[in-house]
């Protein structure tokens, strides 16, 4: 069996590469749907502003999407590279699910992203529309399969164990395992909210800069509207996910997320300094009685929240990441909810596009949705520890036999490569945003249906949306 530090390194490597990957789907799934909305509106209304929005967001979408793909390829290989024991054990159950992801989602996205990005002028509007829809469908399918596979690790079902391997007995139960049913909508909502917030923030940026007013209003309006519709649903689904999946199937996860070691606290901890070695909190700041309201929905506030000492020390999840991941997610969700609510009021009073402090608030909270999504994954994954397949396969029994040197070399390389790429991606987005939508002509080459196209001038003189 591998040493603890070796396992921690492997774990750290997987966690950071997965978090890096997650940043991009968190935006591109929602952006893909946003592109569908833009292009559909364009097809329906013929209003060139929608084509301009489509082209602008497509440029930002393209690079993030590519990064998501390549970072995702890394994850599929890492399972076998670093976690040989795990991949041998779960291959028969999870392998086919990820195969299905490749077949139904990756090929679909890959085939039609080319048409979406470079097809204008070659194919008709209708084909572009279909291609855009299929790319979005692929992104959603991909989310579904990944959530099915990950949820099976949280609440394994429909299998039997033979010779140290999980062999499926019912595919229905494997795929629609108890956690999947709640976690899939939770994740879809999370990525849609993240993307809408990002989109709204970019709209707010142009409004603050007094640029491309028409474009900016439409962009911010759609983004914020989507967020304010989805956030209340997400608060309900998220709460159900926690109370149904975690409380029923993984009580230790909920306990770690609440940050209590001892039993009897009815309060809701806002800040704790956990001391897992001594099995107590060195410091707690909590809201009295709120714990039993939030966790058990008991409005008398008298049900105590259970503590981690109910579980053997070796089977406790780490409190630091689970607790603070959970708090970050919750506070981000509440924060966005409040801002979206204010936005709704301002919209009714017709001041949403002019009130500068509000625009600044939206702009500066741009990445909050993505943070919340990643924090949620931190909760679900670190809260599952020390299990890889909950209750069945320990992380300690799962790594490949590698030399520590190999592991450190790739870990460092991943960090360097990912930091460089992330920097380049941020620069690219910043550059596209600064360049603005004004230069993207809504009048040029969308003409395959109308006979031979004339090549567009490189810098068209018709800025739409500037006033």
Partner 1 sequence: MVFFWMVVLLLALLTYVILDGYDLGIGTLTLFERDGDTRRGMLEVVGNVWDGNESWLILLAMGLWAGFPDAYATALPGLYLPLSLMLFALIFRGFSIEMALQRPGFDRVWGRLFGLGSLVSAFAQGVLFGGLLTGITVVNHGFAGRPWDFLGHGYALLTGCATVLLYAWAGAAQLQAKLPVDERRGASRRVRLLTGPVVLVCALSASLLPVATKARLRLDGVDRWLPFGYALLIAAGAFYVAWRWAGRTPKQVSFFAIAAAEAAGLLALVCLYFPQLVAPSVTIYSAAAGRSTLVFLAAMIGIIGPGTVAYGIYAHWVFRSTPPALNVAEPPPAANGRSALSPSN
Between residues 264 and 451, which has the closer beta carbon with respect to partner 1? 451
Q: Does the footprint of partner 1 cover residue 7 (CB under 8 A)?
A: no
229, 290, 342, 402: which one contacts partner 1 (CB under 8 A)? Answer: 402
Stretch that binds partner 1, among 277-285, 306-314, 321-329, 407-415 (CB under 8 A): 407-415
Contacts of 272 (CB under 8 A, 6+ apart): 259, 281, 283, 284, 285, 319, 323
Q: Single out the residue of 141, 146, 140 nearest to residue 179, CA to CA.
A: 146
Q: Does the footprint of partner 1 cover residue 77 (CB under 8 A)?
A: yes
Q: What is the 3-state secondary structure (H, E, C) of 270-314?
A: EEEEEECCCCEEEEEEEECCHHHHHHHCCCCCCCCECCHHHCCHH
Least gap, CB of 117 to partner 1 (angstroms): 8
**Two tokens, residue 126:** 């209708």
Stretch that binds partner 1, among 105-113, 199-207, 249-257, 374-382 (CB under 8 A): 105-113
Contact status, residue 283 vs residue 324, Cβ threshold 8 Å: no
Q: Does the footprint of partner 1 cover residue 167 (CB under 8 A)?
A: yes
Between residues 100 and 396, which has the closer beta carbon with respect to partner 1? 100
9, 35, 93, 340: which one contacts partner 1 (CB under 8 A)? Answer: 93
Stretch that binds partner 1, among 37-45, 264-272, 351-359, 396-404 (CB under 8 A): 396-404
Contact status, residue 257 vs residue 379, Cβ threshold 8 Å: yes
4, 5, 46, 162: which one contacts partner 1 (CB under 8 A)? Answer: 162
The length of the chain is 467
Residue 352 C-alpha from the chain's centroid: 27
* Residue 289 CB burial class (10 angstroms; 0-12, 13-18, ≥19): middle
Q: Does the footprint of partner 1 cover residue 169 (CB under 8 A)?
A: yes
Question: CA 79 to CA 97: how far, in whole Å?
Answer: 14
Residue 394 C-alpha from the chain's centroid: 26
The footprint of partner 1 on this chain (CB under 8 A) covers a number of residues equal to: 86
40, 344, 346, 417: which one contacts partner 1 (CB under 8 A)? Answer: 417
Least gap, CB of 199 to partner 1 (angstroms): 19
Q: Does the footprint of partner 1 cover residue 309 (CB under 8 A)?
A: no
Residue 215 C-alpha from the chain's centroid: 26
Question: CA 29 to CA 125: how far, in whole Å?
Answer: 22
7, 31, 115, 393: which one contacts partner 1 (CB under 8 A)? Answer: 115
Q: Does the footprint of partner 1 cover residue 108 (CB under 8 A)?
A: yes
Q: Does the footprint of partner 1 cover residue 421 (CB under 8 A)?
A: yes
Q: Does the footprint of partner 1 cover residue 22 (CB under 8 A)?
A: no
Site residues for partner 1, window 429-458 (CB under 8 A)? 432, 445, 448-449, 451-453, 455-456, 458
Q: Does the footprint of partner 1 cover residue 73 (CB under 8 A)?
A: yes
Least gap, CB of 230 to partner 1 (angstroms): 29
217, 289, 347, 428: which one contacts partner 1 (CB under 8 A)? Answer: 428
Q: Does the footprint of partner 1 cover residue 396 (CB under 8 A)?
A: no
1, 3, 12, 118: which one contacts partner 1 (CB under 8 A)? Answer: 118
Q: Does the footprint of partner 1 cover residue 3 (CB under 8 A)?
A: no
47, 104, 279, 309: which one contacts partner 1 (CB under 8 A)? Answer: 104
Q: Does the footprint of partner 1 cover residue 400 (CB under 8 A)?
A: yes
Long-range contacts at 350-359 (CB < 8 A, ≥ 24 apart)? 352/220, 352/221, 352/224, 353/207, 353/216, 353/217, 353/220, 354/207, 356/208, 359/204, 359/207, 359/208
Binding to partner 1 by CB under 8 A, coded x per residue (else -) over 349-368, reads --------------------
Site residues for partner 1, window 264-303 (CB under 8 A)? none
Least gap, CB of 139 to partner 1 (angstroms): 13
Residue 38 C-alpha from the chain's centroid: 22
Q: Single out the residue of 182, 90, 195, 180 nearest to residue 139, CA to CA.
A: 195
Specify the DSSP class assigned to residue 449.
G
Contact status, residue 217 vs residue 210, Cβ threshold 8 Å: no
Binding to partner 1 by CB under 8 A, coded x per residue (else -) over 42-61, reads -----------------x--
Question: CA 404 to CA 396: how far, in whole Å?
Answer: 15
Q: Does the footprint of partner 1 cover residue 171 (CB under 8 A)?
A: yes
Question: CA 196 to CA 181: how far, in whole Å?
Answer: 24
């Amino acid at each position: 069996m591998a040493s603890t530090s070796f396992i921690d390194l492997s774990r750290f490597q997987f966690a950071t590469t997965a978090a890096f990957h997650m940043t991009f789907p968190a935006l591109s799934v929602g952006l893909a749907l946003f592109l569908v909305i833009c292009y559909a509106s364009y097809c329906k209304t013929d209003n060139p502003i929608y084509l301009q929005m489509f082209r602008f967001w497509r440029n930002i979408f393209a690079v993030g999407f590519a990064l998501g793909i390549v970072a995702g390829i890394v994850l599929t290989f890492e399972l076998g590279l670093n976690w040989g024991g795990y991949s041998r054990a779960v291959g028969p159950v999870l392998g086919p699910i990820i195969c299905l992801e490749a077949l139904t989602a990756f090929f679909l996205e890959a085939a039609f992203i080319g048409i979406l990005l470079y097809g204008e002028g070659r194919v008709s509007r209708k084909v572009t529309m279909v291609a855009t829809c299929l790319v979005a469908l692929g992104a959603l399918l991909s989310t579904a399969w990944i959530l099915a596979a990950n949820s099976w690790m949280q609440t394994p079902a429909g299998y039997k164990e033979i010779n140290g391997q999980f062999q499926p007995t019912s595919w229905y139960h494997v795929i629609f395992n108890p956690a999947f049913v709640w976690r899939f909508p939770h994740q879809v909502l999370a990525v849609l909210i993240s993307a809408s917030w990002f989109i709204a923030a970019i709209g707010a940026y142009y409004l603050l800069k007094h640029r491309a007013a028409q474009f900016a209003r439409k962009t911010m309006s759609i983004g914020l509207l989507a967020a304010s519709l989805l956030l209340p649903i997400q608060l309900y689904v998220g709460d159900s996910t926690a109370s149904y999946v975690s409380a029923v199937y993984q009580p230790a996860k909920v306990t770690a997320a609440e940050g209590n070691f001892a039993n009897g606290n009815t309060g809701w901890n806002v800040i704790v300094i956990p001391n897992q070695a001594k099995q107590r909190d060195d410091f707690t700041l909590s809201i009295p009685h709120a714990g039993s309201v939030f966790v058990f929905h008991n409005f008398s506030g008298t049900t105590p929240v259970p503590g981690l000492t109910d579980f053997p020390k070796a089977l406790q999840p780490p409190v630091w990441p689970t607790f603070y991941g959970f708090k970050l997610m919750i506070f981000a969700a509440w924060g966005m909810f409040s801002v979206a609510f204010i936005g709704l009021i301002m919209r009714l009073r017709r001041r949403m596009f002019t009130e500068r402090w509000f625009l600044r608030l939206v702009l500066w909270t741009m990445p909050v949705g993505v943070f919340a999504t990643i924090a949620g994954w931190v909760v679900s994954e670190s809260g599952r520890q020390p299990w890889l397949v909950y209750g069945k396969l320990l992380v300690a029994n799962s790594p490949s036999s590698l030399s520590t040197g190999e592991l450190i070399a790739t870990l460092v390389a991943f960090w360097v490569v990912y930091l460089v790429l992330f920097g380049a991606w941020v620069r690219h987005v910043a550059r596209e945003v600064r360049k603005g939508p004004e230069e993207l002509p809504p009048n040029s080459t969308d003409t395959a249906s109308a006979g031979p196209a004339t090549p567009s001038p490189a810098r068209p003189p018709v800025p739409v949306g500037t006033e």
